[in-house]
Amino acid sequence: MRTPLVLGNWKMNLGARQAIGLARDLKRAVAAGGSRATVGVCPSPVHVASVREGLEGSSIQVGSQDLVAQEPGAFTGGTSAEQLRELGVTFTLIGHSERRHVFGETDQDVVAKVAAAHRASLLPVVCYGETLDQREAGRTRDVVLGQVEAALAGLSAAQVSALVLAYEPVWAIGTGRNAEVADAVDVHRTTRAWVSDRFGPEAAAAVRIVYGGSVKPDNASGYLAETEIDGALVGGASLQADSFLGILGAA
């Protein structure tokens, strides 16, 4: 049985007070709610420490939106896996579509970041997904499996079992245009079958694959009712306690 995962990606949003206020609201509601899902939030890096402090004593995990793959050293502007770990971060997004498409990250960067996350015992949440052009050209399968194959290269079956994949079609992120549940299920199933071929059926049964892209309280239950979909990575709707908790309620 895979534990569902509901993650909020706050991106470059919220001031310090808003971030802490949101964390406190979530802490209270999650303590009272008794959801069986694991809940995590990824604040902007400047708020990671204060949000972590605000969530002291809560089951809500704090994640990073990104990390620099190199070991601590002369990398101006960067944050290492070790620094994140020391702050109490337990997981990190890797290869989010905005990192790939706005900041030009490649599959090689993703591989290095997955290794860095493992070095510091952070759980990697590896994001992948096709663009609209790729989908319309009938290339979804090749693109998504290409990204997953690159990201997981060199990992052991045990490492793959433990990590999280986040299928996020690029055209669905922040657009309000969420994927059809059947299309998401199809990609999740294709991904899991590939993991089974490459790493074995046990790894395929264990790896969690969450969906992201315009998940809202009114569409979340459609995804989360599917056994193939192990949770949600939520952007815009995670910025307000009510809407994030509405999604969590569907898990």
Residue window 226-245: x/- pattern of binding to ligand PGA, with contact defined by CB under 6 A? -------xxxxx--------
Does the footprint of ligand PGA cover residue 164 (CB under 6 A)?
no
Query: Considering only residues 4, 5, 6, 9, which one is a binding residue for ligand PGA as defined by CB under 6 A?
Result: 9
Q: Distance between terminal CA atoms of the chain?
A: 14
Contacts of 175 (CB under 8 A, 6+ apart): 213, 214
Q: Which residue is nearest to ligand PGA (CB)?
A: 235
Determine the 3-state secondary structure of 167 from DSSP. strand
134 vs 178 by CB, closer to ligand PGA: 178
> If you count them, how many residues does the chain have?
251
Asked if 65 touches ligand PGA (CB under 6 A), the answer is: no
Q: Does 173 bind ligand PGA (CB under 6 A)?
A: yes
Helix axes 241-250, 217-224, angle to 10 degrees: 20
CA distance 102 to 95: 11
The two tokens of residue 234 are: 């939520």
Q: Does 169 bind ligand PGA (CB under 6 A)?
A: no
105 counts as binding ligand PGA under rule CB under 6 A = no
Active site residues: 96, 168
Binding residue (CB under 6 A) for ligand PGA from 43, 169, 213, 231: 213
d(CA 10, CA 130): 22
Token couple for 16: 């310090």
How big is the site for ligand PGA, counted in residues (CB under 6 A)? 13
The CB density around residue 181, as the number of other CB atoms within 10 Å, is: 18
Q: Is 63 in the site for ligand PGA (CB under 6 A)?
A: no
- List of residues contacting ligand PGA (CB under 6 A): 9, 168, 173-174, 212-215, 233-237
